[in-house]
A = this chain, B = another copy of it.
Amino acid sequence: MAGKRSVSNVLGLAVLSYLSQQPMHPYALGRMLRDHGDARSIKFNPGSLYMVVGQLARAGFVAEQETGRDGQRPEHTVYALTEDGRRELRDWLRELVAQPQHEYPAFVAALAFVSALPPGEVTELLARRLDLVARQQAEIKGLIQDSLAQGVPGLFLLEEEYRLAQLDAEYGFVQRLIARMADPATDWITLWADHHKQIDRERGRQ
């Protein structure tokens, strides 16, 4: 729907969202990100934050409101959302909710080239992955339980539930993959072996 956003880093979305609740200075935004757990959903490092706020300001989505100070701490510039910023926030969210993006998870790349490893080793590696995925699932479940226990409404835990659903699917996929590789009917062994013979031939030629 929107050709190209003037600020494309999703960290900007977080900034717009926080500023829609009250004006803030960048450092406070960073604290929010960390404390409110949104740094799990959005890649965050302090340098990028100032950059993004600068971009948002140039685009007219936020405006310097005042430059204040707290006690004898360094001065800080407080930013507020503009009317354009409010529109951008809603429009951006609409796009992200309604339109699935084509993404590039690391595991997809790994699968695309996994035949460069010998099959026996791949089976072992997948088993290790399975274990680590299970740990992540447990961790997220714990996090959700703790949050609910502290009174956080489920509405604010949707990201984590989504991650969990993705991890469940990944777990199943990897399990089935391991089984398929072990199954003699699959017949990847000869294919795989040929592939490696070719690699070795090439290697000899250098």
Contacts and interface: CB of A to CB of B under 8 A. Distances in A.
Interface of A: 10, 13-14, 17, 20-22, 38, 40-43, 80, 86, 89-90, 93-94, 96-117, 121-122, 125-126, 128-129, 132-133, 136, 153-156, 158-159, 161-163, 165-166, 168-170, 172-173, 177, 186, 188, 191-192, 198-199, 202-203, 206
A206 B199 CA distance: 66
B117 A17 contact: no
A22 B204 CA distance: 11
A9 B14 CA distance: 26
A109 B42 contact: yes
A14 to B, nearest CB: 7
Given A13-B113, A93-B116, 19 more contacts: A13-B109, A14-B113, A17-B116, A22-B202, A43-B104, A80-B206, A93-B114, A97-B126, A98-B126, A99-B129, A100-B107, A108-B159, A112-B159, A115-B156, A155-B191, A155-B192, A162-B173, A165-B169, A166-B170
A112 B206 contact: no
Contacts of A191: 153, 155
Given A97-B122, A98-B128, A112 B166 contact: no
B10 A155 contact: no
Contact of A165 (B86, B173, B188): B173
Contacts of A108: 41-42, 159, 162-163
Contact of A109 (B96, B154, B198): B96
A148 B128 CA distance: 29
A191 B186 CA distance: 52
Contacts of A111: 41, 158-159, 162
Contacts of A10: 104, 106, 109
A106 B101 contact: yes
A66 to B, nearest CB: 13
Contacts of A170: 100, 162, 165-166
